[in-house]
Amino acid sequence: MIFMKAHVLFSGGKDSSLSAIILHNLGYEIQLITVNFGVMDSYLHARETANVIGFPHEVELLDMELIEKSVDMILKDGYPGNGIQFLHKSVLDILSEKYCVIADGTRRDDRVPKLTHSEIQSLEMRKNIEYVTPLMGFGHKTIRSLVNNYFVISELESEDLLKSDYETEIREIIRNRGENPLSYFPKHIQSRVTGLKRYL
């Protein structure tokens, strides 16, 4: 067995949790990574979930300028897609300087953030890394079954749920700039893993 370590981008949500578990089952040593831009300490929610699912957790503090630039794009566009895509690609580029195997919870039916096949190949070749998205072959119905089998989740409106994804800090910056985040992020149900039903 060759030693393999995977750094999994981790928001505390069900998708990144499930991705970590799939890679753990395949024999990877898991290191969860929550990216934070110093806007607020939202990474604490991911840390709680990391304790629940039992993998080591680190916070990667990145330059606030990056997320400010993402917010600039979102305010200019009037919708979050391009800004979040830019932020995720930038994060992957930065982490690729440090880590060899980087994973995230991107799912087959996700739209944003999601790298195209050629963006993935470019990232892997430019940085000589492996980028892994364990849920890319799973549709939402399959993921719902898996999540129901493994996790206790807390589901709330996105404004009310304490989570550690990009959106949480982006909304805070938008608020700080005197605008209403709801004008850019329509209400949607988000979820966070709060317990394990069964270990694998």
Which span (31-39, 79-87, 128-136, 153-161) binds a second copy, by CB under 8 A? 128-136
Helix 43-53 and helix 14-25: axis angle, to 10°? Answer: 40
Tokens matching residue 59: 């916070």
Q: Out of 65, 97, 116, 141, point to the residue binding a second copy (CB under 8 A).
A: 141
Q: Out of 148, 176, 180, 183, point to the residue binding a second copy (CB under 8 A).
A: 148
Cα 41 to chain centroid distance, Å, stands at 16
Q: Is 131 in the site for a second copy (CB under 8 A)?
A: yes
Which span (74-82, 91-99, 116-124, 162-170) binds a second copy, by CB under 8 A? 116-124
- The contact pattern for a second copy, residues 67-96, with x = CB under 8 A and - = no contact, is ------------------------------
Cα separation, 197 vs 18, in Å, equals: 13
Q: Out of 31, 82, 90, 142, point to the residue binding a second copy (CB under 8 A).
A: 142
**Closest by Cα among 35, 72, 27, 17 to 165:** 35
